[in-house]
Amino acid sequence: MTNDDGDEFNRDQRGRFGKGNPGGGRPPGHHTPSLLAALRRRFQDSEGADGRSVADDIALEMVQRALNGDAKILTMLWDRLEGPVKQQVENDQVIRIERIDTRPKTTEDDDE
């Protein structure tokens, strides 16, 4: 990679692409599979034991763990069903704002 006047990558001194550079990246229409999409496919397409979906099996397992005392799972389930508990913020502090004059003093200021 040369970055002098004979730059083969068509970049300026700051490393930006110059005019006429076709650019790069993925071609239009190219999609990368996301983890969320893969998980959704697994939940929708797969069946677990007794003909239930994978999501049903996971939900059953989570409920069983919560009933057996798993506090993290219980909290997560409760947050998903009812929404997280709102945090109370105490607002009893008094904030004092003072104006600071940063202008240089002049002789006119001394007369006041």
The encoded tokens of residue 21 equal 């550079």
| Lowest-pLDDT choice from 51-55, 94-98, 106-110 | 106-110
Which pLDDT score, from 0 to 100, does residue 64 have? 95
The encoded tokens of residue 70 equal 């798993």
Which pLDDT score, from 0 to 100, does residue 73 have? 93
Domain extent listing, the chain: 52-84
Residues 6+ apart with CB under 8 A from 9: 1, 2, 3, 21
Distance (Å, rounded) from C-alpha 22 to C-alpha 27?
Answer: 12
Cα dist. 56→1, 8, 28, 90, 106 in Å?
55, 57, 37, 41, 78
Residue 54 has pLDDT above 60, yes or no: yes
Residues 6+ apart with CB under 8 A from 60: 52
Residue 7 has pLDDT above 50, yes or no: no
- Flag whether the pTM goes above 0.85: no
The per-residue pLDDT for range 65-86, each reduced to its tens digit, is 999 999 999 999 988 888 877 7
**Arithmetic mean of pLDDT, 40-68:** 83
